[in-house]
Amino acid sequence: MVRNGNQLRIISGEFGGRIIDAPKTAKTHPMGDRERSAIFNRLRAEVSGAIVLDAFAGSGALGIEALSLGADSVDFIESNPKAIQTIKANLAKLKLTDKAKVIRKPAHEYDIVFADPPYNNPQYDYVEELTKSLKTGGILVLSHPESPAPFDFKGMSIFSDRSYAAAHIKMYQKQ
């Protein structure tokens, strides 16, 4: 849920109900509660103990939600300076700076990659590059607009494809 236009609620886990800030910029689009809830209800078991990458992180809500549900660590990739400041402030507020960091590119192999690129520039080529940082059996969660739809990512198979109003969430597993 977005509150006052720049706040989000962590849905579940250790930090469930806590409010975090969203960047005060039109260049990011926070994912709604409904979509985040659906993702984490589906992936709850896989998140526990996982090493996670939150790409196009915005507020950091997806990665923070993963930490709230027991992920071991989360790396956040974000290029917008206001968003980077917001992510760092949210991590400090929740005392998560020892389990998370903001980085420029993938640092190692991940169990789960969240990719929520801007809908006006979905950057599917870059998303495909991110799949190379997944472990075998790892999961890519992609939020994308209806058009243009993502192409088939090499070495990945879709195991979930859901629509929520304007948001489309596809989950892939690396073969």
User: Strand 110-115 vs strand 167-174: parallel, antiparallel, or unpaired?
Assistant: unpaired
pLDDT band at 119 (very low <50, low <70, confident <90, very high): confident
Q: How far is CA 140 from CA 4, 5, 55, 128, 143, in A?
A: 31, 28, 11, 10, 10
Q: What is the pLDDT of residue 100?
A: 97
The listed range with the strongest mean pLDDT (3-7, 120-124, 157-161) is: 157-161
Instruction: Please tell me whether the overall predicted TM-score, pTM, comes out greater than 0.75 for this model.
Output: yes
Average pLDDT over residues 128-150: 95
pLDDT greater than 60 at residue 157? yes
C-alpha closest to that of 102 among 139, 138, 60, 50: 60
- The structure tokens 């489309």 sit at 168
**Contact between residue 170 and residue 147 where contact means Cβ atoms under 8 Å apart:** no
The size of the chain, in residues, is: 175
State phi, psi for 133 to the nearest 5 degrees: -90, 5
Q: Give the type of residue at 69.
A: L
**Region of residue 4 (left: phi > 0; alpha: psi -120 to 50; beta: else):** left
Q: What is the pLDDT of residue 5?
A: 60
C-alpha closest to that of 78 among 23, 31, 36: 23
Average pLDDT over residues 25-37: 80
pLDDT greater than 60 at residue 2? no
Cα–Cα distance, 130 to 120 (Å, whole number): 19
Domain boundaries, the chain: 7-174
7-174 CATH choice from 3.40.1390.20, 1.50.10.20, 3.40.50.150, 1.20.120.350: 3.40.50.150
**Which DSSP helix (H) or strand (E) runs through 169?**
strand 167-174
User: Strand 100-103 vs strand 73-77: parallel, antiparallel, or unpaired?
Assistant: parallel
